[in-house]
Structure 1
Amino acid sequence: MGNVVQLNIYLGAFRTGGQHLFAMARANEAMLNDQGIFLVQKNIFNTAFSEATKSAEQGHDRAEIQDKLFAALAQGQDAKTLLYFDPLLSGNITRPIGAGLIFPRIKNFSRLLANVMDHDKIRLAMSVREPSAFLTSCYGQALINAHVVPFEEYVNDVKFDAIRWSNCIDRLTAPFFDDSTQTYGVKPIIWRIEDYPYIWRQALGAITGVENPQDLVGSSAPNNAGLSLYGSHLMYKYLQKHAPKARGDFKKVREAFLEKYPNDASKPDDPFWNADQIKEMQYAYDDDWYFIERMENVQALRRQIVS
């Protein structure tokens, strides 16, 4: 194994362009590999990270844990940077909000990571999205993954006026705060999905550390629109009347609704949001992003508007 110096992780959020980012990483894998940047498979990461956290709990030497973790993730490749994509690290798509918090358990992962690795060898990245669009898209994704509940139940305990990505980021970075220096050992790279089509090369360059992000090849076209809330509502009603019986029936229903009701602004208005509530969430999100850009524990990527 080469001298691995860093583990870079994209940990979500769900429905914020992560599949596209991963697809672009795969499309440029040869270029990344030439610079010692290698993608890590999910099963390899899960096994190696689980072993590392158990070793930490047993009080084993931290440096040895880290070396063993890097060796397991590198799989013999001459890597200087290991790159891992997994939105599941943020939380569960069937419960993205709890007690008014986006991904209430996100701190659990960062605490485990902070315990097994030197903080200067970690780079984290996360993308965010306007809450009403985020929740409706998450609901559609949960529904097509057979979490069949009505939308009202899905958002039953969501305090819409209290949803703040900045709070989520604070909880993510808390385990990396050094009391002695009053600084953060890890400052995650954050961007908005609304800006992403214009800055995807910048985002992928930031999370990979590739030397020449302007040379990354690909398109900003989304590769997974998801299911609209309107389509989700109709699919839920359909499933109540036509419960899948044979193996594969649910898959056929899912594919039919995804094709007919993709998440598209040209489709009919969503049935459960009133315009005032959406506006309130959008204003709160704009205010939250203004705050995030100025947080000392993040690296915010911005779309440059040329006038």
Structure 2
Amino acid sequence: MDRQTIGEAERLYSDPDTRIALHLGFHCTGDEALIYSLRQNKPLLAEHGIVVPRRRFFVDEMRRMTTEILRGRPATIPEQEILFKTLIDRELVETLVLSFDSFLCAPRGILGEGRLYPKAGPKLAELRGAFPDNETALFCAIRNPATFLPEVWSRFAGREDPRLFLAGIEPRALRWSDVIARMRAACDDEITVWCHEDTPLIWARVMRAVAGLPEGVALDGTLNVGAQIMTEEGEALLEEYLRLNPPADEPERHRVLEAFFDKFAVEDEIEADVEMPGWSDALISELTLIYEDDLARIAEIPGVTLIEP
């Protein structure tokens, strides 16, 4: 990539050829697992010109740029230069990966106006304005509302009265497809979606998709999520098996992972502990069926790719 001069502004860092990969969360779907897993491959990423900064190096600067300086307008070239220099402080970057579960809202904004992430569209447009000249790919994991809402309540609402936490919200009416559709309406970028529940099986594919790497590239950290639901013995045996018997393709890898998860799973880690007071088993089952139906709607949204096992 050559430095480019446009008008009086010289580009030293903000090359328009840089691909921006924005992992937008959502909350309670893995926290910093993506950053941690990708950064286990720093030498390989460097070979491919991929930069994955830690959150502490970009969150405050991104917030300041989007909310205090840009306020909805596209960044000028000098503003892009300032932002990119802060984010990468180097040249010749092919892909910049930014992952933060509060890009679209703080936890207190997850529910509102009777739906999930009510400000997703405007906040995404605001965020996208920081990179007006770059190809941008969007990534997010979704989660069954039957476990998502109790987790959000437990982690972020201080376990306040559930009636206050869900005030004005009908859980049966919540649709991730609505959130994704509003995001697509806010920008033309491709969106890649996966289910949090499937992450142990598809983590390698997610990592490669975000980094922009082809399927044949081997990565470290692809078992990080799966290891959380397995015994230590099972994890060690799985790593050894995959080392001695590299899967020929993704379907074979899935079969191997499923076999090991079935045999060495830690039951408490697999079965989400739903603790929303007042919720019946019937409601939880109903929400799960609605969620499964919603996945089909998401897969049909133009410009959206759903990663499935």
Superposition TM-score tier, normalisation by shorter sequence: 0.7 to 0.9
Q: Which residue of 2 aligns with 1:45?
A: 58
TM-score by length of 2: 0.72
Matches within 5 A, 1:257-272: 265=271, 271-272=277-278
Report the alpha carbon displacement of residue 213 of structure 1 after superposing the two structures with TM: 6.1
Specify the SS of the correspondent of 1:23: helix
In the alignment, structure 1 segments of 5+ residues that lack a partner are: 177-183, 225-261
Q: Which residue of 2 aligns with 1:85?
A: 99
Q: Look up the equivalent residue of 2:185 and give its one-letter code.
A: A
Please state if 1:278 is matched with 2:289. no
CA RMSD of aligned residues (A): 3.0
Q: Which residue of 1 aligns with 2:48?
A: 35
Matches within 5 A, 1:95-106: 95-106=109-120
Report the alpha carbon displacement of residue 268 of structure 1 after superposing the two structures with TM: 8.9
Please state if 1:73 is matched with 2:87. yes
Cα deviation, 1:226-256, whole Å, max 9, x if unaligned, reads xxxxxxxxxxxxxxxxxxxxxxxxxxxxxxx
In the alignment, structure 2 segments of 5+ residues that lack a partner are: 1-11, 230-267
Cα deviation, 1:175-219, whole Å, max 9, x if unaligned, reads 21xxxxxxx2x0111111122111111111111112456511221
Q: Note if contact 1:6-1:82 (Cα within 8 Å) is conserved in structure 2.
A: yes
1: distance between equivalents of 2:32 and 2:105? 16
Q: Which residue of 1 aligns with 2:201?
A: 198
Specify the SS of the correspondent of 1:87: coil
Report the alpha carbon displacement of residue 282 of structure 1 after superposing the two structures with TM: 1.1
Q: Note if contact 1:62-1:117 (Cα within 8 Å) is conserved in structure 2.
A: no
Specify the SS of the correspondent of 1:296: coil
2: distance between equivalents of 1:34 and 1:203? 19
Q: Look up the equivalent residue of 1:204 and give its one-letter code.
A: M
Q: Look up the equivalent residue of 1:62 and give its one-letter code.
A: T
Matches within 5 A, 1:117-266: 117-118=131-132, 120-142=134-156, 147-176=158-187, 184=188, 186-211=189-214, 214-218=217-221, 219=223, 220-221=225-226, 265=271
2: distance between equivalents of 1:208 and 1:159? 37
Report the alpha carbon displacement of residue 290 of structure 1 after superposing the two structures with TM: 0.5
Report the alpha carbon displacement of residue 51 of structure 1 after superposing the two structures with TM: 5.2
Distance 1:284 1:119, change over 3 A: farther
Report the alpha carbon displacement of residue 105 of structure 1 after superposing the two structures with TM: 1.6
Cα deviation, 1:119-171, whole Å, max 9, x if unaligned, reads 6521110000111111111122125xxx3513332223321121010111122
Q: Note if contact 2:35-2:52 (Cα within 8 Å) is conserved in structure 1.
A: no
Q: Look up the equivalent residue of 1:128 and give its one-letter code.
A: I
Q: Which residue of 1 aligns with 2:258?
A: none
Of 52-61 and 73-82, deviating more is: 52-61
Report the alpha carbon displacement of residue 263 of structure 1 after superposing the two structures with TM: 6.3
What is the number of equivalent residue pairs in this alignment?
A: 256
Q: Which residue of 2 aligns with 1:292?
A: 298
Report the alpha carbon displacement of residue 67 of structure 1 after superposing the two structures with TM: 3.6
2: distance between equivalents of 1:23 and 1:203? 13
Q: Look up the equivalent residue of 1:115 and give its one-letter code.
A: G
Specify the SS of the correspondent of 2:197: coil
Specify the SS of the correspondent of 1:89: coil
Q: Which residue of 2 aligns with 1:107?
A: 121
Distance 1:151 1:73, change over 3 A: same
Q: Which residue of 2 aligns with 1:233?
A: none
Distance 1:272 1:62, change over 3 A: same
Distance 1:271 1:43, change over 3 A: closer
Q: Look up the equivalent residue of 1:169 and give its one-letter code.
A: I
1: distance between equivalents of 2:83 and 2:180? 25
